[in-house]
């Protein structure tokens, strides 16, 4: 197995103790989730689950993956075709649906939310965007090694002073003979410290929409990929800065025409939010299984705590919120497949699932009590990981603004 080959160990004694339970089944989650899928999607989900059990099960918040080990995992995922689920067969992909991609994201995030986040940045934010906006010759250059996992992908939008207001970015691209010189900095870039292929939006004119899209092939002179930032959660997903010091990018690495960047950015954001919405569902389902298993085995006052109505109400609430979010996500994926996904729907999907994931993690800690507050149990990690989804890819406050503007037709 990959983990054994990489010499990775875990300090999560609880996972070791209860591994047979999770290996045998993904209790409540599997029982209900798989019934909503068609036969092809069920086969995909079962294959991904088996991979995750063997490769991701023992990765916890105390474990760090060095770049070499990370790439080995990425290549193992590439061998399964996980990176290219929605890419067309012409582009070397599996040609499956947005729903199938979301299923993969959900399952990976159930076992490791960190790896799920990096997976979304690679397979959707980078690869799917390349497939949408690049020319056939450009796709032929960059997609094959991203598909196999030999290369790791990233998307660079945020800057130190440009977060939710993405169009205020200041990274400049100066035209020179044969290409462009990029000067400035990107920040909070998922996979940034280890990425080989990076989609970068840079300013080529002073007007607000004067953004242009470039593909950076790292390492390259003038680009400094910062060390991974120490974060509260998502600790296995490397996040960092990208510093451009007159970094030369050839003309052939420009995507589209000058000024197309703003349209490219907006086109990708809705699909980004849609896939990312599956990550919190993975966390919710992990919380649900943890609470269900723990409450059935934890005895107080002579019986399992699952027999007390206050505990039962927590289980019922998480179960209901999970399935509400899952049903909405699958509906939104169907809409995306037919080109009917709206900004409001994409924003509301991740708004719903992200807040429910944080609630589920808090309830998991509460049910486990002192054990929930301990790092020997995964509940506290679920909370630290879940909180990211209320902030990344546009905060929940921004998502509410997007929804309200769409419903009230204000600008």
Query: Tell me: the pLDDT tens digits for 276-317?
Result: 999 999 999 999 999 999 999 999 999 999 999 999 999 999
Q: What is the pLDDT of residue 5?
A: 36
Q: What percent of the chain has pLDDT over 70?
A: 89
| Whether pLDDT at 177 is above 80 | yes
Quote the CATH superfamily of domain 154-263.
Answer: Butyryl-CoA Dehydrogenase, subunit A, domain 2 (2.40.110.10)
pLDDT band at 348 (very low <50, low <70, confident <90, very high): very high
pLDDT average, residue stretch 20-46: 65
pLDDT band at 409 (very low <50, low <70, confident <90, very high): confident
pLDDT band at 7 (very low <50, low <70, confident <90, very high): very low
Q: How far are the Cα atoms of 101, 148, 155, 277, 288 from residue 123, in angstroms, in the given order?
A: 9, 11, 11, 15, 27
pLDDT average, residue stretch 81-96: 95
Pairing outcome for strands 211-217 and 223-225? unpaired
The answer to whether 2-152 and 269-408 have equal CATH topology is: no
pLDDT average, residue stretch 185-200: 98
State how far the Cα of 66 lies from the Cα of 19, in Å rounded to an integer: 25
Pairing outcome for strands 153-156 and 197-203? parallel
pLDDT average, residue stretch 262-270: 90
Q: Which of 362, 347, 284 is nearest to 33 (CA)?
A: 284
- 325's CB contacts (< 8 A; 6+ apart) are 277, 280, 281, 284, 349, 352, 353, 356
Higher pLDDT, 397 or 1: 397
State how far the Cα of 191 lies from the Cα of 198, in Å rounded to an integer: 9
| Whether pLDDT at 197 is above 60 | yes
Reduce the DSSP state of residue 3 to 3 states and report it. Answer: helix
**DSSP letters spanning 345-372:** HHHHHHHHHHHHHHHHHHHHHHHHTHHH
To the query of whether residue 55 is one of the catalytic residues in this protein, the response is: no
pLDDT band at 12 (very low <50, low <70, confident <90, very high): very low
Sign, Cα dihedral of 131, 67, 113, 384: negative
Mean pLDDT of the chain: 89
Query: Left (φ > 0), alpha (ψ -120 to 50) or beta: where does 184 sit?
Result: left
Q: What is the pLDDT of residue 326?
A: 94
Q: Which of 344, 360, 333 is nearest to 400 (CA)?
A: 344
**DSSP letters spanning 81-140:** TGGGSSS-GGGTS----HHHHHHHHHHHHHH-HHHHHHHHIIIIIIIIHHHHHS-HHHHH
Buried residues in 14-37 as b, exposed as e (16+ CB within 10 A) = bbeebeeebeeebbbbbeebeeeb
Lowest-confidence region among 204-208, 378-382, 386-390: 204-208
Q: What is the pLDDT of residue 278?
A: 97
Q: 10 Å Cβ neighbour count for 370?
A: 8
Q: What is the pLDDT of residue 194?
A: 97
Q: Which residue out of 159, 272, 363, 380 is catalytically annotated?
A: 272
Query: Left (φ > 0), alpha (ψ -120 to 50) or beta: where does 182 sit?
Result: beta
State how far the Cα of 164 lies from the Cα of 139, in Å rounded to an integer: 29
| Whether pLDDT at 20 is above 70 | no
Q: Which phi and psi angles does 196 have, rounded to 5°?
A: -100, -35
Q: What is the pLDDT of residue 209?
A: 74
Element (H, E) at 12: none
| Whether pLDDT at 325 is above 70 | yes
pLDDT band at 60 (very low <50, low <70, confident <90, very high): low
Reduce the DSSP state of residue 248 to 3 states and report it. Answer: strand
| Whether pLDDT at 86 is above 80 | yes
Q: What is the pLDDT of residue 380?
A: 96
Quote the CATH superfamily of domain 269-408.
Answer: Butyryl-CoA Dehydrogenase, subunit A, domain 3 (1.20.140.10)
**DSSP letters spanning 185-212:** EEEEEETGGG-SEEEEEEESSSSTT-EE
Q: What is the pLDDT of residue 32?
A: 66
**CATH architecture of the region 2-152:** Orthogonal Bundle (1.10)
pLDDT average, residue stretch 379-405: 95
Tokens of 244: 């451009």
What are the residue ranges spanned by the domains of the chain?
2-152, 154-263, 269-408
Higher pLDDT, 29 or 135: 135
| Whether pLDDT at 96 is above 90 | yes
pLDDT average, residue stretch 67-84: 93
Element (H, E) at 5: helix 2-6
**H-assigned helices in 248-369:** 261-276, 278-297, 309-337, 343-368
State how far the Cα of 67 lies from the Cα of 6, in Å rounded to an integer: 11
Higher pLDDT, 52 or 126: 126
List, in sequence order, every residue forming a beta bridge with 240; answer none if it has no partner. 189
Q: What is the pLDDT of residue 389?
A: 98
pLDDT band at 54 (very low <50, low <70, confident <90, very high): confident
Q: What is the pLDDT of residue 341?
A: 95
């Amino acid at each position: 197995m990959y983990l054994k080959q990489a010499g990775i160990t875990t300090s999560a004694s609880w996972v070791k103790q209860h591994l047979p339970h999770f290996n045998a089944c993904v209790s409540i989650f599997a029982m209900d989730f798989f019934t909503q899928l068609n036969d092809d999607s069920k086969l995909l989900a079962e294959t991904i689950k088996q991979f995750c059990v063997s490769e991701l099960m023992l990765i916890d918040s105390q474990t760090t993956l060095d770049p070499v080990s990370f790439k080995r995992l990425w290549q193992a995922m590439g061998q399964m075709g996980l990176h290219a689920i929605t890419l067309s067969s012409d582009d070397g992909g599996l040609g499956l649906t947005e729903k199938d991609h979301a299923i993969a994201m959900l399952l990976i995030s159930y076992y490791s939310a960190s790896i799920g986040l990096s997976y979304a940045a690679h397979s959707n934010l980078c690869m799917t965007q390349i497939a949408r906006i690049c020319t056939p010759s450009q796709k032929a250059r960059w997609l094959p090694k991203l598909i196999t996992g030999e290369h790791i992908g990233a998307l660079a939008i945020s800057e130190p002073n440009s977060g939710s207001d993405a169009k205020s970015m200041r990274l400049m691209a100066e035209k020179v003979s044969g290409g462009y010189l990029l000067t400035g900095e990107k920040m909070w870039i998922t996979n940034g410290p280890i990425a080989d292929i990076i989609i970068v939006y840079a300013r080529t004119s002073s007007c607000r929409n004067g953004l242009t899209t470039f593909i950076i092939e790292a390492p390259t002179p003038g680009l400094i990929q910062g060390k991974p930032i120490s974060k509260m959660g998502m600790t296995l997903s490397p996040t960092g800065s990208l510093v451009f010091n007159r970094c030369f990018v050839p003309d052939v690495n420009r995507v589209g025409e000058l000024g197309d960047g703003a349209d490219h950015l907006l086109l990708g954001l809705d699909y980004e939010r849609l896939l990312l919405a599956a990550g919190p569902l993975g966390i919710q389902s992990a919380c649900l299984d943890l609470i269900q298993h723990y409450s059935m085995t934890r005895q107080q006052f002579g019986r399992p705590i699952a027999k007390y109505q206050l505990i039962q109400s927590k289980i019922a609430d998480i179960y209901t919120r999970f399935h509400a979010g899952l049903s909405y996500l699958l509906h939104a994926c169907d809409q995306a497949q037919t080109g009917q996904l709206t900004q409001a729907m994409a924003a509301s999907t991740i708004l719903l699932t992200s807040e429910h994931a944080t609630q589920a993690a808090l309830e998991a800690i509460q049910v486990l009590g002192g054990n929930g507050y301990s790092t020997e149990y995964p509940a506290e990690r679920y909370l630290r990981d879940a909180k990211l989804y209320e902030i990344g890819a546009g905060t929940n406050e921004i998502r509410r603004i997007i929804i309200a503007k769409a419903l009230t037709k204000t600008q």
